């Protein structure tokens, strides 16, 4: 049967979530402008205050800081100056990730201070080699589109931990890296190290392989070191990911809408500093905001509110046409168990349906304190499922299959039909999750549960995967930069 094309056929591409109406988004924006113009931001950097004041912001000096209030036009001008599409460049160009509107990817949570050792299954403080191992697994997993610093290098000199973190990460992956730089001085050194890994500063400015997380302090504060990192990144050509960590009911309002307004004001204050320092600096609208469980005074990253807040902020970022990185896939459980699976799935799916560009939380347990390799590997399987959901149902003449249904007819079978062979790979296929019957599961998986198989898979990756090698001389250059910088800092401390 001939089926000609339909004129102006209206269709949807994938499943999505509408968190707000256009009027509600406008209300959130206007409330944010009111906060920024009438309440203002506490800024603890004299240089940042001068930049803001020079652009037309009003400053009220209070001892060693200033309360900066922003006119509406300045906020909206700076939003327009920020790039709409951002590319997370990898050391391996095949692993570049484009943060275009509503493209959905995933990453790990950071910065966990503990790790469940995949060999002993004991919880211990993380060290630099653990971060290297976690990064190596992320390099292997296609589901991880960019690598956030999953663990800290607690065995290294405290002030230079960010440099050690970068070294451990860049050595073990060709993907784009995101981590906290810690200070303006550290920023210069990390970018110098990154330049050594891509053939020089000129190449780095063309393809920056690292983005700095900068964290406004809730409520409504830009501390000195945060400002330093923003300013140095803008000057040196690195992008920033602006990630407030408000707690609804503690450091922001108990109402989620009020929390969104405050979070939004904090993000935009940092974005303005970047744009006023260097117009066009890549800024990723980010979030680690959640609720405080006031019964236990604990940060709840496995709570459904975490996913709800992430979805809401994703929609706000899309309103501004900014790339967006939000939380999802975390858990408050202490083990990679059923609680971890349920919590991770709820928050990750909600954020994905909202169209966040990166959803981070893979491998995270214990409210962000503990990293687990088995959870990371299991999360990768969960991510494939979420991506299948986001893909939705394609409706066209081929997928409707009317001619196939007619050909097979009542009582027939589709398994051997060419149409099935053509489309069967579009259906989800489990890799780690087991869909066999019990007898086959016993035979092929030895009756091992998912967690056990995940640990085995993680160990296999750690022992066998090889990342793209660093350019000649890069490892030596990074080591030299760290040693000289540490010697200088230690001398100054004496």
Q: What is the pLDDT, as a whole number, of residue 2?
A: 67
Contact (CB, 8 A) for 383 and 129: no
DSSP result, 214-271: E-PBTTTEE-HHHHHHHHHHHHHT-EEEE----EETTTB-SSHHHHHHHHHHHHHHHH
What pLDDT, on the 0 to 100 scale, is given for residue 5?
Answer: 64
Beta-sheet pairing, 247-248 with 290-293: parallel
Q: Is 301 helix (H, G, I), strand (E, B) or coil?
A: coil
Alpha-carbon span 375 to 284, nearest angstrom? 26
Residue 163: is it exposed, middle or buried by C-beta count within 10 angstroms (0-12/13-18/19+)? buried
Beta bridge partners of residue 105, listed in sequence order: 358
The edge-to-edge listing of strands for the beta sheet with 41-43 is 58-62, 65-69, 41-43, 221-222
Q: CA–CA separation, 125 vs 119, rounded Å?
A: 15
* Residue 162 tokens, joined: 């960010």
Sheet of strand 123-125, all strands in order from the earlier edge strand to the far edge? 123-125, 114-116, 370-372, 364-365
| Domains of the chain with CATH codes | 22-77 (no CATH), 84-391 (3.20.20.480)
pTM attached to this predicted model: 0.94
CA gap 98, 87 in Å, rounded: 5
What does the pLDDT read at residue 428? Answer: 86
- What pLDDT is recorded for position 297? 84
Q: Compute φ and ψ for 80, nearest 5 degrees.
A: -70, -30
Q: What is the pLDDT of residue 494?
A: 67
pLDDT < 50 regions, the chain: none
Instruction: Output the average pLDDT for the chain.
Output: 95
Strand partners, 148: 178
SS3 readout for 338-366: HHHHHHHHHHHHHHHHCCCCEEEEECEEH
Task: State the Cα–Cα distance between residues 144 and 137, nearest whole angstrom.
Answer: 9
């Amino acid at each position: 049967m001939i089926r000609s094309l339909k004129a102006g056929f209206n269709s949807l591409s994938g499943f999505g979530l509408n968190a707000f109406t256009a009027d509600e988004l406008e209300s959130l924006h206007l409330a944010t402008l009111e906060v920024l113009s009438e309440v203002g931001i506490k800024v603890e950097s004299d240089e940042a205050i001068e930049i803001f004041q020079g652009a037309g912001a009003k400053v009220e000096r209070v001892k060693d800081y200033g309360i900066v209030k922003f006119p509406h036009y300045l906020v909206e001008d700076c939003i327009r100056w920020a790039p709409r599409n951002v590319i997370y460049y990898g050391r391996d160009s095949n692993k570049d990730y484009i943060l275009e509107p509503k493209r959905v990817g995933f990453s790990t949570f950071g910065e966990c201070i503990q790790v469940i050792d995949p060999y002993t299954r004991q919880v211990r403080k993380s060290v630099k080699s653990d971060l290297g191992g976690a990064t190596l697994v992320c390099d292997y997993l296609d589901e991880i589109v960019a690598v956030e610093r999953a663990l800290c290098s607690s065995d290294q000199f405290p002030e230079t931990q960010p440099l050690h973190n970068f070294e451990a990460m860049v050595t073990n992956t060709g993907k784009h890296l995101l981590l906290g730089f810690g200070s303006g001085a550290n920023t210069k050194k990390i970018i110098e190290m990154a330049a050594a890994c891509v053939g020089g500063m000129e190449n780095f400015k063309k393809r920056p392989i690292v983005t700095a997380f900068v964290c406004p302090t809730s409520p409504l504060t830009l501390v000195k070191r945060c400002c330093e990192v923003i300013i140095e990144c803008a000057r040196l050509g690195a992008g920033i990911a602006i990630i407030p960590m408000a707690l609804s009911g503690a450091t922001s309002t108990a109402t989620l809408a009020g929390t969104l307004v405050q979070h939004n004001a904090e993000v935009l204050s940092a974005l303005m500093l970047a744009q006023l320092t260097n117009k066009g600096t890549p800024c990723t609208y980010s979030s680690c905001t959640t609720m405080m469980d006031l019964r236990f005074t604990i940060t709840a990253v496995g709570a459904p509110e975490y996913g709800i807040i992430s979805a809401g902020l994703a929609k706000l970022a899309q309103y501004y046409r900014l790339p967006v990185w939000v939380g999802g896939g975390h858990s408050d459980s202490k083990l990679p168990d059923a609680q971890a699976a349920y919590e991770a799935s709820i928050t990750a799916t909600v954020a994905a349906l909202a169209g966040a560009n990166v959803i981070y939380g893979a491998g995270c347990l214990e409210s962000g304190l503990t990293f687990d390799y088995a959870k990371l590997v299991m999360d990768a399987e969960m991510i494939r499922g979420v991506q299948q959901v986001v893909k939705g149902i394609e409706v066209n003449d081929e997928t409707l299959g009317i001619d196939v249904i007619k050909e097979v007819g009542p009582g027939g079978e589709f398994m051997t039909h060419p149409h099935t062979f053509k489309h069967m790979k579009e259906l989800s296929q489990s890799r780690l999750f087991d869909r066999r019957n019990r007898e086959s599961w016993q035979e092929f998986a030895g009756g091992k549960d998912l967690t056990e198989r995940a640990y085995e898979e993680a160990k296999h990756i750690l022992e066998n995967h090889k990342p793209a090698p660093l350019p000649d001389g890069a490892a030596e250059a990074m080591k030299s930069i760290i040693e000289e910088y540490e010697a200088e800092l230690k001398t100054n401390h004496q």
